[in-house]
Amino acid sequence: MALIPFDDRDGTIWFDGKLIPWRDAKVHVLTHGLHYASVVFEGERAYSGHVFHTSEHSQRLHNSAKILGFEIPWSVAAIDQAKADTIAANKIVDGYVRPIAWRGSEMMGVSAQQSKIHLAIATWEWPSYFSPELRAKGIRLQFSKWRRPSPDTAPTQSKAAGLYMICTMSKHAAEQEGFQDALMLDWRGQVAEATGANIFFAIDGALHTPTPDCFLDGITRRTVMGLARDRQIKVIERAIMPDEMAKASECFLTGTAAEITPVGEIGPYRFTPGPITNRLWTDFQALVRKAPAKAA
């Protein structure tokens, strides 16, 4: 299938406060963000034209920038509105939303205190799609050779572009060997997450998930924990060592893009998507389609 490059599409992108033609949304090569990873971003989904947990995502974008030492010159409410305007302009029904903020070109060097902060928002049609085969068998994960860094090595609570360097390397390595994704351990050797999604295990009827102390505490992760508790499924956040996966009957990933993705295999461990994964998947689908409450 021929790829349609993301810089050569029809549509409208919100760029520093204005909706502009898609192909005009460009940055110069001498952009601090490109050279020094002074970039934060979000990944969001619109369901039936509404962004799921839009303000939480805008708030996280603000926090991510703050952790990297810069302030986004639009408020959370203004970013929410900009996303809604971008979705309307592109007539998106079920789609992905990608806000991104970065340091501009005023200074070129490690120090960039005077640089201007930019914000852009793009959105594209992206229905959620899972084949019955995937739902039944789950995806296959390889162990990554890269580990999530400790919070005193990198700004791990920021959704910062620089943290994705090892994610792309891990996912490429996995794909090249026929796997769909990679499981990353943390610097202590504990189970952390996949390359763009959090992880859960069903053990003896309860849900276990690693404590997010060196990786993103995903918005989908928290949503799914709430759904599980609503169903009286016990949720336990704790340190999980890889060999404990032998006790897990089910495993799934959560994330905006992944939604709830069943996992069938991680290295030598095997899981069968079952009642807990299916229950949460059904509840999640119902929740994301619920019309958001109108602001007073």
Q: Which residues are catalytic?
A: 159
- Choosing from 193, 250, 259, 283, the residue that interacts with ligand PMP (CB under 6 A) is 193
* Angstrom distance (rounded) from CA 79 to CA 199: 29
Strand-pair partners of 47: 50
- State in angstroms the smallest separation of the CB of 23 from ligand PMP: 27
The reply to whether 198 sits near ligand PMP by the rule CB under 6 A is yes
The reply to whether 253 sits near ligand PMP by the rule CB under 6 A is no
- Choosing from 221, 240, 245, 277, the residue that interacts with ligand PMP (CB under 6 A) is 221
Nearer to ligand PMP, 11 or 218 (CB): 218
CA distances from 259 to 41, 103, 195, 197, 218 (A): 18, 30, 14, 9, 11
Nearer to ligand PMP, 219 or 228 (CB): 219
What's the half-sphere exposure (Cβ side, CA atoms, 13 Å) at 191? Answer: 27
Site for ligand PMP in 30-59 (CB under 6 A): 43
The reply to whether 144 sits near ligand PMP by the rule CB under 6 A is no
DSSP 179: -
The reply to whether 64 sits near ligand PMP by the rule CB under 6 A is no
Give the binding range for ligand PMP (CB under 6 A) out of 82-90, 121-129, 217-225, 235-243: 217-225
Burial class (CB in 10 A: 0-12, 13-18, 19+), 238: exposed
CA angle 283, 287, 292 (to 5 degrees): 170
Largest Cα span, the chain: 56
Task: Please report how the helices 219-230 and 275-289 are oriented relative to each other, as an axis angle in degrees rounded to 10.
Answer: 110
Query: Beta strand 259-266 with 139-148: parallel, antiparallel or unpaired?
Result: parallel
The reply to whether 197 sits near ligand PMP by the rule CB under 6 A is yes
Give the binding range for ligand PMP (CB under 6 A) out of 97-105, 126-134, 219-227, 236-244: 219-227
* Angstrom distance (rounded) from CA 86 to CA 211: 35
Q: For ligand PMP, which residue has the nearest CB?
A: 218
The reply to whether 214 sits near ligand PMP by the rule CB under 6 A is no
Give the binding range for ligand PMP (CB under 6 A) out of 86-94, 113-121, 150-158, 210-218: 210-218
- Choosing from 256, 260, 283, 288, the residue that interacts with ligand PMP (CB under 6 A) is 256
Nearer to ligand PMP, 105 or 209 (CB): 209
Q: Where are the alpha helices (DSSP H) in 116-257?
A: 132-137, 165-176, 219-230
Burial class (CB in 10 A: 0-12, 13-18, 19+), 4: exposed
Give the binding range for ligand PMP (CB under 6 A) out of 134-142, 150-158, 189-197, 281-289: 189-197
Nearer to ligand PMP, 102 or 105 (CB): 102
The reply to whether 283 sits near ligand PMP by the rule CB under 6 A is no
Residue ranges in contact with ligand PMP by CB under 6 A: 43, 193, 196-198, 215-216, 218-221, 254-256
